[in-house]
Every structure is written in structure tokens, then in C-alpha cells.
Chain A
Amino acid sequence: MSSGVYKIGLLIDEKRYEAIKNLPFASKMKSMFGGEIRMLEVEVDEDTAKKILAAFPSARVDARGFLEDLPVAFKSALFEAVVETKSVGKEAFEKVFQKIDQIKEAAKKEKEYVPPP
């Protein structure tokens, strides 16, 4: 892994938007593809990225430096932590890592089955 800051993109639908619209970072949200998707970009430092990649074997860094192929359970937990800590920084990740075993457990099931839409 090269040095530098990585990112995780959290997809924001209407329900999630309601939860964060009044937080300071809500204005940083990106509208994509003609507004059909909104995304909140959360920065990830080198150490945290390493911990995440070690916790989830299918995760990887893509061409843009985004951590991708993360379990849905991890992304949901990260979003909840962002709301809870009102932060898109280290505090949010600390919150997530407090229950990483639980997330890994959920992710294990998710690796085998996610209900189709």
C-alpha cells in the first residue's frame, strides 16, 4: 500500500440524508451522475486503512484510492458512527472498531448471502 490518505464512499439515500443534513459535513456531500446518487466521502488514514483491509479479506483499494468491496455491515456501521459522533474523522472509526467483531460476524453471513433486490 502506498502512503497517503484513502477514502470510503458512503452512499446516501433519502433516509440517510435526513440523518445528516444538519451536520456540518453534509455540505461536502457529492452529487453524482446527474444527481441520481449522493455520496459522502470519508477520509481514511494509512493505519486505519490497513486495519480495515486486514479485517475484511475481500476489501481492496481501487484505482481512485477508495476502499471498496467492503461489507455492507461495515458501511452501515460506519454511517451510524458518523451520525453518532457527528464526525467523519478518527472518532467515527474508533466507534466502529469498538464493535468490529460483531461487524465481522455480520459480514461473514453477508459473504454468503445478501437478499437480492
Chain B
Amino acid sequence: MYAPLEPHGGRLVYNVVEDKDKAANMAAGLTKLEVEPTLGPDGAPIRNPYREVMSIAYGFFSPVEGFMTRNEVESIVKERRLLSGWLFPFPLIFDIDEEKLKAAGVKEGDSVFLTLKGRPFAVMKIEEVWKLPDRKELADAVFGTPEKNGEVVKRRFDEKHPGWLIYRMMRPVALAGKVTVINPPSFKEPYSRFWMPPHKSREYVRQRGWKIVVAHQTRNVPHIGHEMLMKRAMFVAGGDRPGDAVLVNAIIGAKRPGDYVDEAILEGHEALNKAGYFHPNRHVVTMTLWDMRYGNPLESILHGIIRQNLGATHHMFGRDHAATGDYYDPYATQYLWTRGLPSYGINEPPHVTDKGLRIRPVNLGEFAYCPVCGEYTYLGISYGDYKEAPLCGHTPERISGSFLRGVIIEGLRPPKVVMRPEVYDVIVKWWRVYGYPYVTDKYLKIKEQELEVELQ
């Protein structure tokens, strides 16, 4: 059970062609098809499938090798399994307009040359061309409904939920098939120093000699509550000795307005080891390209897959994991990883079930500052009939990330017991660049225009 664990599905995908001659041969004579963003009802970009192409081809989503067929999507929404039987939570759909399909004139069995911003990018071998069902029904099937999934879904999903909206706004036709990146992009600053795909990440873990590695999912600039979760999770994961390291993996892509900008998320976490709050020998910050679906328990499965593939042995899950709003129970992820979610076809926890994950969960509740103890203390978890007692008998002060965002936007420096000053300075640095500390429609448009990568 030492790091790195075997990849999900047993084999790490690496469908990237670096040899330029080989790449040219693969693309020769193929029809070009531009990768286009998914737009929200107001025209704001909410997803760019290039991020999925990258994450598939570089092995983050192993064993997935391409965009899914209709049967595979049906299998996913029915029981969260690929056709091979391996656990996977979300449909990966390459959607296009009917007119565009007609104009391209491609059909099953063909290969298509994917371009990004007009530049050569990838090749897809088309296994199937299929029509999406009613997109609203698809989105509901992906995320669940209070009627069908009442153990964790508390409220019907709607347009305000960014992940639901991605499926709702998909184009009507899908191309399914294996993707291969034939023109590996270079990453822009600051992304380049955080890009460590699975084969490299696993090598990094080996070189460091780390045996127990706890993954931390983030779409946030870290406050001290997050730092406590990371540090305590490392000790929990170690069992009879402290764990070795925390592998922070940030999700980079289109996010909901109000989240922090991606650059600040990455550099904010990096600031923790630059400023010495973590020793760099016990902490690394990396990234995954993915337009977050905010699917709480479902997203936690994807996170488990990604981080197992990156080489982690454990994954820390906190309250409201990868969530937005009050659609899910705040401890839906802990419910999944302790009991399974039978209404989604997952009858056992993901790390227990056959063809499930090998990475192990560290389920934690919140940490909060106790003014009486003068330190961070544990508040415990409660869901269903399970309830943990808090660690201290006082009334600690909970930190909500969104509360903290309110403090920041009003121009106040957060107290040191809430956020490290070096992390706050990173927020202000990127605030100066974009004129705003959080994601806005303007930021999403800039991000869509520029992306995180450059292609030659």
C-alpha cells in the first residue's frame, strides 16, 4: 500500500505523441475540427473540452482513453462504471453542432484532426457518432435528484449549479473515441511550474522516497482551516507513524463566478511552502485541467482516480467537498466513502468495491479556531445517524471560505489566525492583474481566449 499505488484500471494512459514526424503522419489528410467551448445561457464560457482531451491523453483519468460512447454514458449514469467495469463518475462527452458535423463530413471509423485556437492539437479516432438525449434529463441523470438520490441530494439541480449547466448546455451530437495529443502544448506562467502529469508525478513521489502521500483537492486559496485539514490528514493517513507528504492538486479550468482565480489558487498553495508553513520536502502543488462539475460525492470519485494516478496513497475529504450551494448534504462525500451510494449504483465505498479505487479516504470534518484553547480544534462530522463529538468543549469559530471572500472583497486583511499573510499577498497580486480577486465573466472570457497553454 505504499506510494505510488497502481493506476486506476491497472495501466497509466499516455496518449501523447512527441515525435513531430509521427504526429504529422497521424494528422495527414484528416478533416480538421476546432475544439470549441461550451457556453452558458449568457454566452459566458463554462467549459472547454480541450481540458478533458489533455486530462485523458496525459493519463489523469486513466483508464479512460477517449470520449465516451452512448452505451458508456448510460453505464456511467446508471452505476458509475465504465464499460470495462472500472468505477468512473462523470460522462466525458465531446459534443458538437449538427451543422458542424455535416460540414466536417466525418463518420464512424474516421479519424479527425482536432485543432485548438486554430493550431494543431490532437487526433480523435471516431468510434461512434451519437445524438445526446434531452440535455436537461441528461444533467439530472448525471447529478441526481432529491427523489431518486435522497440520501445525499437535498435540492433539485438548476442553472445556478455550474456542473449541471455544463451538461444542460451541451451541443446535440457527440463524437466518441480515443484521443491522442499530437502537438503537446507548453504551459504559460504560472501554470508551467505546476504541470506535473501522472507519469511525472509518480516519478517525483518515487524520487522523494514518499511512502504515504495524502492528496488534497483544491479549488480554493488556502485558509488556515485548509492547512489544518492537510496537516492533520497526513498524520491520520500515516497510521502508526506520520505520513510523508501532502500532494496538493488544484483543479484548473472554468469555475463559478465568485471562486478565486486559478493563478491565485496555485500560488496561494505554493506560498505555504515558500513561506515555510510546510517544508517543501513534505508538500508539493500540482494541477489538473478540468472544468469543475461541483459534484460533491461524484467529484470525490474523480478526485480519487486522478490522485491515485498521480501517485497518492490517501485522499483527504472535508466538509462540502467540491460543492457549491446546498444541493448536496455537506457530508455527502463522507457518506459515499463510508457506506457507498446505492441510489447511484455504488453499493460499497469506492475503495472497497470491485474495480474500484486503491487510494484510501481520510474522512474529516471541519477544523475551527477556538479562542479559549487558542488553537485550531476539531468540530467532528455528522451525517445520517453518524455523529462525532467535537474535540473541545468550547465554541470554536468556524471559517467559511465564502465568508472569508466577503472579508477580502470589502478590502480588509484577514486576521492571521484565519489566513497566512503571504497567501493574502498572492490574492492581492492577482487582484491587481485582473481588477478583481475572484472569477468574473470577464475573467472567464479572458481565460477562454488565452487558455493555460500555448500551441506551436
Which residues from chain A sit less than 8 Å from chain B, CB to CB? 1-2, 9, 11, 13, 32-34, 36-37, 53, 57-58, 60-64, 66, 68-70, 72, 75, 111-114, 116-117
Cβ B160 vs Cβ A57 within 8 A = yes
The winner among A32, A36, A70, A112 for most chain B CB atoms within 10 A is A32
Chain A residues lying within 8 Å of B369, measured Cβ to Cβ, are: 33
| A-contact bits for B219-258, CB 8 A (1 contact / 0 none) | 0000000000000000000000000000000000000111
- Does B32 reach chain A (CB closer than 8 Å)? no
**Contacting residues, chain B, for A11 (C-beta < 8 A):** 406-407, 410, 412
Q: CB within 8 A of A112: which of B256, B400, B413, B435?
A: B435
Q: Give the residues in chain A near B320, CB-CB below 8 Å.
A: 63
Report, nearest first, the 7 A-B pairs whose CB atoms are least far apart. Answer: A68-B402, A36-B415, A69-B258, A113-B435, A116-B431, A62-B402, A58-B257
- Please state if B432 and A116 are interface contacts (CB–CB under 8 Å): yes
- Chain B: residues with Cβ within 8 Å of the partner, total of 41
Complex: A75 Cα to B403 Cα, angstroms: 13
Q: A2-B155, A112-B440 are in contact. Are A68 and B415 (CB under 8 A)?
A: no
Name B's A-contacting residues (CB within 8 A): 154-155, 160, 256-258, 319-320, 324-326, 330, 369, 371, 397-398, 400-403, 405-407, 409-413, 415, 417-418, 428, 431-432, 435-438, 440-442
Chain A residues closer than 8 Å to B405, beta-carbon distance: 68-69
Contact of B400 among A13, A63, A75, A113 (CB under 8 A): A63
Which residues of B lie under 8 Å from residue A64 when comparing CB positions? 398, 400, 403
Assess whether B412 is in contact with A1, with CB atoms less than 8 Å apart. no
Q: Are B326 and A33 in contact (CB under 8 A)?
A: no
Knowing A34-B417, A112-B435, A114-B436 are in contact, say whether A68-B400 is a contact too (CB < 8 A): yes
Chain B interface mostly: loop
Q: Across the interface, do A75 and B410 meet the contact criterion of CB distance under 8 Å?
A: yes
13 contacts between A and B (CB under 8 A): A9-B403, A33-B369, A33-B417, A37-B407, A37-B412, A57-B160, A58-B256, A60-B325, A62-B400, A68-B406, A70-B406, A75-B410, A111-B257
Nearest Cβ in chain B — how far from A27, in angstroms? 18
Complex Cα distance, B442 from A88, in Å, reads 34
Please state if B418 and A33 are interface contacts (CB–CB under 8 Å). Answer: yes
Residues of chain A within 8 A of B415, CB atoms compared: 32-34, 36-37
A57 lies within 8 A of B402 (CB): no
Residues of chain A lying within 8 A (CB to CB) of residue B432: 116
Which residues on the B side are within 8 Å of A36 (C-beta)? 415, 417
A1 to B326, CA, bound (A): 7
A20 to B101 alpha-carbon distance, docked (Å):
64
Instruction: Tell whether, in the assembled complex, residue A33 and residue B397 are in contact, meaning their CB atoms are under 8 Å apart.
Output: yes
Is B400 touching A58 in the complex (CB atoms < 8 A)?
A: no
User: Roughly how many angstroms separate A57 CA and B441 CA in the complex, as a whole number?
Assistant: 11
Complex Cα gap A113–B417 (Å): 28
- Nearest to B415 among chain A residues (CB) is A36
Distance in Å from the Cβ of A47 to the closest Cβ of chain B? 17
Q: B441 — nearest CB in chain A belongs to which residue?
A: A111
Which residues of chain A are near B438, meaning CB under 8 Å? 69
